[in-house]
Amino acid sequence: MRISKTIPTLLLSGSLIGAAAQAMNSAEETGPAQPPKKPVMFDLTSIDKTANPCTDFYQYACGNWMKNNPIPATESRWGSFNTLADTNNYLLWKDLDAASKHPSSPLQTKYGSYYAACMDVDQADKLGARAIASQLAMVDGLDSTKMVAQLDSRYEAKYGQGFLVSVRVGQDQKDATQQILQTGQGGLTLPDRDYYLNQDARSVRLREQYVAHVTAMFSLLGDTPDRAAAEAAGVLKVETALAQGSMPRVEMRNPANVYHMMTVAEVQQLSPDFDWHVLLDGSGAGQVRTLNVSFPGFVRAVNEQLESEPLPVLKSYLRWQVLHRAAPYLSKDFVDRNFDFFAATLTGQKEQQPRWKRCTRLTDAALGEAVGQDWVKQNFPPAAKDNMEKLVAALEKALGEDIRTLPWMSDATKAEAEKKLAAFRDKIGYPAHWRDYSKLEVSRTDFITDLSHNAVFERDRNLTKLGKPVDESEWGMTPPTVNAYYNPPQNDINFPAGILQPPFYDVTKDPAINFGGIGVVIGHEMTHGFDDQGANYGPTGNVKYNADGSMGSWFTPDDLTKFKQRTQCLADEYSQFPVADGQNLNGRLTLGENAADNGGLRIAFRALQETLAPKGITNLDAQTDVRDGYTPAQRFFISFGQVWCENRTEQAARNQAKTDPHSSGKWRTDGSVQNFDEFGKAFGCKVGQPMMPEKSCRVW
């Protein structure tokens, strides 16, 4: 799981699936050979008893799991989250497959047709690049850099996404009840700006491989070798310039860095070679006078490209954007090339996933609240929702007590923190109101068109929110998703039905095991409201800004200093943790998630203590269970550790360290327990051992 705290940045951003597009064609597989094995919660066979839990708890909790669960050839990472996602996808596939053959409602007809179109390999191979001929023709018709805004506007209206600049509606940081127009940054194909800018040998080699890939893809379009090579060089040149103007991920974590309200005239002055009036008119937002330019540096970089690059170079870049977006869904030659670079080279994945898996995932992404309605009826009974609500209540009570007893925080700041906690909204399982898909057109025979229709549908659905109050009932994840998130502007915690199953939650298990699993997940999301980003969002979801427009905080100045010292401890600590040869975690990038992991563990343990106390169990280290020989405290920590059991390719580990705000499974486990003295007590560790260091970090 990537427990995540913001939308759309998903827990293990992006969500469990990386940014690189998965290739679409493989063997003609129409369904699973057999159902996947269901994951087990608190699996004693996963424990490596040859390991010392005080030296490396992750190896102790997960050692045998890692040995017995090698990474499948179709994956770059394999862990507890994947095993549950596999189960959920299988159940979802059964619904989609049935709906594609024998729909019994208009909604089933719609999502069944979307899935069927995705599965039509013969049609994809028959069309080849002709499937995107009209899109490429639109780019080929560009005859001046001054017309790029017009092209962007027309292309987005027809295909749902633009090229260099787009506008979308989002929540206003200063008035969280309202929605405003915003523009962000993008335009890069590689996972992060650093892939273009780093000069180490590995990065240089990867860029060479990228250019070779782009060259090969242009050749598949029919370009001559010389032209394809020249176009690929132009693509890298443009994307490198855009990368130089892009904001680093660590800086994006500060809300003040991405909030720059400007008038349209000011934005136009910032990028005089891009006609903003044309773009806004085409988006139906021509009446807007101000918008949030999240990344002014990127807007300037776009203008510099329009001003300096020859038209043929810009057209090569735009052609590449069309081709790259469609490549996973075209004929086998395009799909295989796309897989070779974006999956095999970038992540170490050896084989493409079966087509039914990819089409199931794509249908869930497009129509998740359509198929999700049927999925929850079968897989998430009301009793499960009721039990989850009780667990959330127990965790909120424990967090409140944690806040009240913090030794470093003043009463004034505690009062503000308690206000924020009291204002939490809990969203469990699935939305209260399902999304209306009646305006989404779906063809059973043309998946490229279905993708465009879906993109246009989502674009239009977003833009109609402009100037309207925020709909706080909306969800950012579909019901079967194995993930969870905290949304700072709305101050809500969200737990899809998909994650409320083993290895996270099992109603047949005792409280120690469930609090170590889903309890820590709940505590993690709650703690996001109080991490280094959450410290800027008050109970209403607004970011606090001072009179001069600079960002403030609901902490008193003295408490804020103490808070920053404590979070710096975490940042420094995690920056020392290796994930691959010569590659450590980025403690600043992962700070929010690490703080949430550490805080969630403490809060869940406190909630377990309070749950067992009325039953006469006041010492969680005192009595072992005759079934497994572990105390309640030990079962709690083992359950927590096994949530993060995983194996990962070296390429995927490197990519994660550069792009993912979450730490790897090993350090989500060991990094948290070594900062919690209750773990050392539970396993009889001595001060000075790795899992019980003399100095540790604590925020919450």
Tell me the C-alpha distance between 688 and 690, whole Å. 6
**Closest to 603 in 3D by CA, of 421, 415, 411, 412:** 421
Q: Enumerate residues 6+ apart whose C-beta is below 8 A from 627.
A: none
With left for phi above 0 and alpha for psi between -120 and 50, is residue 184 left, alpha or beta?
beta
Tell me the C-alpha distance between 302 and 276, whole Å. 12
- Exposure pattern of 134-152 as b/e (b: 16+ CB <10 Å)? ebbebbeebeebeebbbbb
**Closest to 145 in 3D by CA, of 311, 312, 315, 268:** 311
> To which H or E segment does residue 493 belong?
strand 492-496
Question: Which residues are 484's β-sheet partners?
Answer: 3
**Closest to 682 in 3D by CA, of 573, 609, 574, 594:** 609
CB atoms within 10 A of CB 121: 19
Six-digit token pair at 357?
């898996």
Pair 478, 361: CB distance under 8 Å: no
Six-digit token pair at 112?
């069944």
Question: Which residues are 537's β-sheet partners?
Answer: 543
Tell me the C-alpha distance between 349 and 647, whole Å. 12
What's the DSSP call for residue 344? I
Give whole-number Cα distances, 620 to 21, 473, 509, 633, in Å. Answer: 46, 39, 16, 5
Pair 524, 453: CB distance under 8 Å: no
Tell me the C-alpha distance between 63 and 668, whole Å. 15
Pair 358, 339: CB distance under 8 Å: no
3-state secondary structure of 359: helix
Tokens 């975490």 belong to residue = 570
Length of the chain counted residue by residue:
700
Pairing of strands 290-293, 179-183: parallel
Tell me the longest C-alpha to C-alpha distance in the chain.
79
What backbone phi and psi angles, to 5 degrees, belong to 428?
-125, 125
What backbone phi and psi angles, to 5 degrees, belong to 646?
-165, 160
Return the amino acid letter for 557.
Answer: P
CA-atom Rg of the chain in angstroms: 25
525 annotated active-site: yes
143 annotated active-site: no
Q: How far apart are the first and last CA of the chain?
A: 22
Q: Which of 597, 646, 660, 670 is catalytic?
A: 597
Q: Which of 56, 374, 525, 660 is catalytic?
A: 525
Six-digit token pair at 564?
């920053």
Six-digit token pair at 54?
């005080």
The CA-based angle 274-281-294, given to 5 degrees, is 55
SS3 assignment for 378-435: HHCCHHHHHHHHHHHHHHHHHHHHHHHHCCCCCHHHHHHHHHHHHCCEEEEECCCCCC
What backbone phi and psi angles, to 5 degrees, belong to 351?
-135, 155
**Closest to 70 in 3D by CA, of 666, 648, 482:** 648
Six-digit token pair at 84?
């549950």
Report the catalytic residues: 525, 597
